[in-house]
Structure 1
């Protein structure tokens, strides 16, 4: 079978490798679609810990082709989405319900072979059913949506809240929809790209701002801004220095900042601790997706979260390394890799 292999930092290629064999508690899944994530680019550049050589791809869904002898609840032909983050269940963090902080966390597509391939192995405890009627490509959005759900959960958005979303990529556009579902009456998205601002408004943003036009702080929180004095919640989804530094300055006193975007490991930002103290801001990190993958699958399956317009293009496994090795194109939201057998 074909697989996109990270052979070493900066070395990525599509290879022919052996088709995997499921263990007793595993599903063998024929991949229908797998999203290319910003984390894949970080992995390629050595900016996020991984264990090459490994097949990339952690945003995937597909059809069960074989099941192990100990599997129950799944059958050949089922469509599933896989939660890639496998916790040990034994360490202190796991015992305290903080499975995303597991000391021995293993992620499909990062530490073990992932979904940028014709087939992927998914432990049955990591699999969640999707309806047969669902568009094959939509299941690949469950994993990024689950990460967004965790961020929304810890943001504790209340009915009538005001929210700023920094970043117009797939994460930002999913967060816009979730913030509205959580009850926010004002959701403002900030991004430089006009096409993404238009899409955000179509998906539920009440307003958008262009950070390249003028100061975002003034546009949002200034005396003549959209929400003078600042918003209740800021969710940083871009994973870049400028937006991380902007986030505390956009929120009101007593408000909440959630860092959801992934910056390269080791990169630093400047934040004024006195401001955090004096205005008693909550600044929270949101890491992956503990206990929310089933909810994400249900939101995708029901059509409550709109994903069709988030697909910028579909590419083959052969084309995937070139996509990962380069920055996203202008206006690009999500590139899906669709193996040749399902194109």
Structure 2
């Protein structure tokens, strides 16, 4: 079968590899779609730890083609989405219910072969059924939505809250929708790209700003800003130095900042600890999707989350290495790799 392999940092290409065979508790899935994530680009550049050579792709969904002898509840022909993060279930973090912090965490598409391929193999416990009539491309959004759900859970957005979302990529645009579902009445998105600002307003943002047009902190939290004094919750979804540094200065005293965006490993930012202390800010990191993947699948299946307008384009497996090795195109939100595309 065909697979997009990261052979080493900076070395990616399409290869022919053997089609996997399911073990007793495995399911073999024919990939319908797998999303290109910013993390895939970090992996290519060596900015996020992984174990090459490995087939990338952790945002995948498809049709079950074969199951192991011990598998129940899922059958050949079912449409499924896969939670890529495999916890050991034995370490102290797992016993405490913090499976995303598992000491032995292994991720499909990072530590073991993933979904940029014709087929992917995963343990039965990582598979979640989707409706048979769901649009084939929609299942690929379950994994990023699950990560967003964890961040929004940590933020504890209350009805009537004010929220800032920093970053207009797919994570930011999913978070805007979740903030609206959580009852936030002021939702401000900050991003440089005009097309993403327009889309955010269509999806539920009450206002947007262009951070390159002036001081974004003043525009949001300054005396003449959209929310003088700052907002209840800031959700950083860009994973870049500027937005991480801005995040604490946009929150009100007593507010909450959640870092969802994946920053390059080793990146440093300047934050004033006295400010955190004096205004008693809560600053949290949000990592992965502990126990949220099934909720994400249900939200996608229900149609409560708009995903069609987040799809920028479909590419083939042959085109995928070039997409991963290069920065996103202007206005790009989500590229889906579709193995069946010619």
Measure, in 2, the Cα distance between the counterparts of 1:212 and 1:41: 24
- Aligned partners of 1:151 and 1:266: how far apart in 2? 22
Give per-residue Cα distances to partners, 1:130-189, cap 9 Å, x unaligned.
001111000000000000000000000011000000000000000000001111011000
- SS of 1:88's equivalent? coil
Q: CA deviation at 1:240?
A: 0.2
- In the alignment, the residues of structure 1 paired with residue 34 and residue 261 of structure 2 have an alpha-carbon distance, to the nearest angstrom, of 20
Which runs of 5 or more structure 1 residues have no equivalent in the other structure?
none
User: CA separation in 2, counterparts of 1:234 and 1:317?
Assistant: 37
1:103 deviates by 0.3
Deviation at 1:224, TM superposition (A): 1.2
In the TM superposition, residue 122 of structure 1 has moved relative to its aligned partner by 1.6
Q: Does 1:18 align with 2:55?
A: no
Give distance in 2, aligned partners of 1:53 and 1:223: 53
Structure 2 spans left out of the alignment, 5+ residues: none
Point out 4+ residue stretches in structure 1 off by more than 6 angstroms: none
- 1:138 corresponding residue in structure 2: 138
1:264 Cα shift?
Answer: 0.6
Superposition deviation, residue 218 in structure 1: 1.2
**Residue 193 in 1 paired to residue 199 in 2?**
no
State the partner residue of 2:321.
Answer: 321
- Match for residue 303 of structure 2? 303
TM-score, normalised via structure 2 length: 0.99
Give the 5 Å matches for 1:52-63: 52-63=52-63
Matched, 1:334 2:334: yes
What is the aligned partner in structure 2 of residue 5 from structure 1?
5
Distance in 2 between residues matched to 1:272 and 1:318, nearest whole Å: 47
**Residue by residue, what CA displacement relative to the aligned partner does 1:200-222 show, whole Å, maximum 9, x if unpaired?**
00000000000011111111111
Q: How does 1:65-214 map to 2 (within 5 A)?
A: 65-214=65-214
**Separation (CA, whole Å) in 2 of partners of 1:263 and 1:284:** 14
Name the count of aligned residue pairs.
342
Q: Secondary structure at the match of 1:19?
A: coil
User: Distance in 2 between the 1:275 and 1:218 partners?
Assistant: 16
TM-score normalised per structure 1: 0.99
